[in-house]
Amino acid sequence: PQKKRWATTAPRIPSTRMALQIFDMNYGTQFGSLWPSIRISLLSEQKYGALFNNFSEVEVVAQRLEGLNAMDFIWEAQKAVEDLDSMAEQVSGVPVSSPGTEAEPCEHQEQPIFSISPNIKCYTFPRGDISRFPPAKPDILGILGYYLLDAASILPVLALNVQPGDVVLDLCAAPGGKTLALLQTGCCRALAANDLSGSRIGRLLNVLHSYLPEQLFNTVTITRHDGRYWSKRSDIRYDRVLVDVPCTNDRHSLKEEENSIFKHGRKEERKMLPMLQLQLLVAGILAAKPGGEVVYSTCTLSQLQNEYVVERAVELLKIEHDITVQVEDLSYFRKLFQSTFSFYQDCRLGELVLPHLSANFGPIYFCKLQRLN
Ligand code: SAM
C-alpha cells in the first residue's frame, strides 16, 4: 500500500505568522505590558540610519544629508554631554571630564574610562520623523557617500571602542555593515572579516568595493571559515573582536517569508541557535588577547539568545579554559544615546534597543566583554 504523505500536503501557516505566534508566547512573558508596544513597532515600517562614508566626498555628502534635515546622532549625543559638562563647570568652577565624548583623531591618547570607537558618523531623522533616505549616489570615483542600515546596529561597533593600531576580528561579518563602520574609524591596523556563507561574502566584497578606496584593502583580510573553530585556524590574538551572530532576526522574520528561520523545515536549526551563538562567542573570546575587548551582538529580543548566551560563555570559559571574562557596564551608553533610541531598562547584562513607534530602530542587543587573562 502507498504510504500517506500528510506532511507534504497539509497546509502550513506562513513563516511570518509562525514567528508572530512564537514571539507572542515568549515575549509576552518576557516583556509583560511592554510587549504590545514593541509588537506594533516591529510590525510597522522600520527606521534607517545613513552610515557616513569618510572615504567619499565628505562635504558634498554632509551637505546632502543635512539638506534632508537628518543629523549625525553620535555627534549630537556627544555635544549634548559636552554642553552639560561645560554648564556644570561654570556652576562649580571645577573642570568636568566626560568619559569618551570626543571623536578623537586616530592617534595614541590617554584613554578615558568609557570610550567609543572614534570617527563614526551616522545620520538619522529626528524622533517621530519617518522620512526615508534616498539611495546614495556614487561620486566621480564611483564611491558611495553613505550606507543605509538600522542605526542601532552601529551601537555594537561604537561599544567595541576600537583604538589606534588595533588588530580587529569581525567573526560573522557579511554583508558588511559593521565591517564598514569599523573601517570608518581609520584605526584598524589590520581587520579580519570572516563569514561562513559564500554568497554573503560576495555581498560583503561588493560593499567594500563600493565604499572604500583601493589602498584600504591592504588592511582587510576576508575569509570563509566556520567561526566556531577560528582558534584552530589562526593563532593571531586580536585587540578587538566583534561577534555579531546569526539569530532569529526578529524584525525580518515578521516581514519576509524568504530565508525565514521560522520555516517549517528549519525548526531544528532554530532550536540549535543558542548553541551556535554560544560556540561563536566562545571562539571570539578565545581569539582575543588577554586584555582584549569583545562585543557580542544580535538583532533579537530573545533572552535565550542574548543574556543567557553571554552568561553561559563566561561560565564555560572559566571551567574549560580557566579564562576570566568580565562583563562591562554599558549604562553610560544608554544615557549617551537615549534621545535617539528606546533602551530596555531591565537588561541584566548588556543593552537592548527596543523598537518604538517614535524611534523604530532595533531590536539590537549588545554586550561588551573583556578577556582578563
Ligand atoms: N555583521 C554583519 C553586518 O553587520 O552586516 C551581519 C552578520 S549576520 C547577523 C550573521 C552572519 O553570520 C551571517 O552572515 C551568517 O552567514 C554568518 N554565520 C552563520 N554561521 C556562521 C559560522 N558558523 N561561522 C561564521 N559565520 C557564520
pLDDT tens, position by position, 20-66: 999 999 999 999 999 999 999 999 999 999 999 999 999 999 999 99
Nearest CA-CA partner of 167 in 196, 194, 195, 187: 187
Q: Is the pLDDT of residue 103 over 50?
A: no
pLDDT more than 70, % of the chain: 92
Q: 154 φ, ψ to 5°? A: -80, -25
Kindly indicate the confidence band of residue 102, based on its pLDDT and cuts at 50, 70 and 90: very low
**299 in active site:** yes
CA distance linking residue 217 with residue 200, whole number of Å: 18
Q: Is the pLDDT of residue 370 over 60?
A: yes
Neighbours of 97 (CB within 10 A): 9
pLDDT more than 90, % of the chain: 82
Q: What's the 279 CA to ligand 1 centre distance in angstroms?
A: 13
Predicted local confidence at residue 96, as pLDDT:
59
User: What mean pLDDT is reported for the chain?
Assistant: 92
Q: What's the 172 CA to ligand 1 centre distance in angstroms?
A: 4
Substitution site in 172, 222, 279, 302 for ligand 1 pocket (most atoms within 8 Å of beta carbon): 172
For this complex, say whether ipTM is above 0.85: yes
Q: What is the mean pLDDT of residues 295-305?
A: 98
Q: What is the mean pLDDT of residues 204-215?
A: 95
Which residue owns the Cα nearest ligand 1 atom 16?
A: 197
Q: What is the mean pLDDT of residues 106-132?
A: 81
Predicted local confidence at residue 106, as pLDDT:
55
The catalytic position among 122, 299, 347, 367 is 299
Which atom of ligand 1 is the closest one to the Cα of 226? Answer: 24
Kindly indicate the confidence band of residue 82, based on its pLDDT and cuts at 50, 70 and 90: confident
Substitution site in 195, 231, 232, 250 for ligand 1 pocket (most atoms within 8 Å of beta carbon): 195
**Alpha helices (runs of H) in the chain, residue ranges in sequence order:** 6-9, 15-31, 35-43, 58-67, 73-92, 155-159, 177-184, 198-211, 230-233, 250-255, 267-271, 273-286, 307-321, 331-336
Q: Is the pLDDT of residue 205 over 60?
A: yes
Q: What is the mean pLDDT of residues 150-172?
A: 98
- Of 110 and 231, the structure prediction assigns the larger pLDDT to 231
Substitution site in 196, 222, 269, 302 for ligand 1 pocket (most atoms within 8 Å of beta carbon): 196
Nearest CA-CA partner of 15 in 251, 270, 261, 247: 261
68 lines ligand 1 (CB under 6 A): no
Q: What's the 280 CA to ligand 1 centre distance in angstroms?
A: 10
- Of 85 and 128, the structure prediction assigns the larger pLDDT to 128
Q: Is the pLDDT of residue 87 over 90?
A: no
228 lines ligand 1 (CB under 6 A): yes
Kindly indicate the confidence band of residue 2, based on its pLDDT and cuts at 50, 70 and 90: low
Predicted local confidence at residue 3, as pLDDT:
60
Q: Is the pLDDT of residue 99 over 80?
A: no
Kindly indicate the confidence band of residue 168, based on its pLDDT and cuts at 50, 70 and 90: very high
Nearest CA-CA partner of 21 in 262, 200, 313: 262
Predicted local confidence at residue 98, as pLDDT:
53
Q: What is the mean pLDDT of residues 102-124?
A: 71
Cell for 103? 571623536
Q: Is the pLDDT of residue 164 over 80?
A: yes
Neighbours of 182 (CB within 10 A): 26
pTM equals 0.93
178 lines ligand 1 (CB under 6 A): yes
Nearest CA-CA partner of 195 in 176, 219, 215: 176
Q: Is the pLDDT of residue 133 over 70?
A: yes
Predicted local confidence at residue 91, as pLDDT:
78
Which atom of ligand 1 is the closest one to the Cα of 178? Answer: 4
Q: Is the pLDDT of residue 111 over 60?
A: no
Q: Is 6 exposed, middle or buried (0-12, 13-18, 19+ CB in 10 A)?
A: exposed
Q: What is the mean pLDDT of residues 71-79?
A: 95
Cα-based torsion angle of the residue sequence 197, 202, 207, 213 in order, rounded to the nearest 10 degrees: 120
Q: What is the mean pLDDT of residues 144-158?
A: 98
Q: Is the pLDDT of residue 358 over 90?
A: yes
Q: Is the pLDDT of residue 5 over 90?
A: no
Which residue owns the Cα nearest ligand 1 atom 9?
A: 246
* Residue-wise DSSP of 327-345: EPP-HHHHHHTTTTSEE-T
Q: Is the pLDDT of residue 101 over 50?
A: no
Q: What is the mean pLDDT of residues 237-248?
A: 98
Predicted local confidence at residue 95, as pLDDT:
66
CA distance linking residue 193 with residue 263, whole number of Å: 29
Predicted local confidence at residue 364, as pLDDT:
98
Would you say 337 and 364 are in contact if contact means Cβ atoms under 8 Å apart? no
244 lines ligand 1 (CB under 6 A): yes
Which atom of ligand 1 is the closest one to the Cα of 195? Answer: 26
Q: What's the 275 CA to ligand 1 centre distance in angstroms?
A: 15
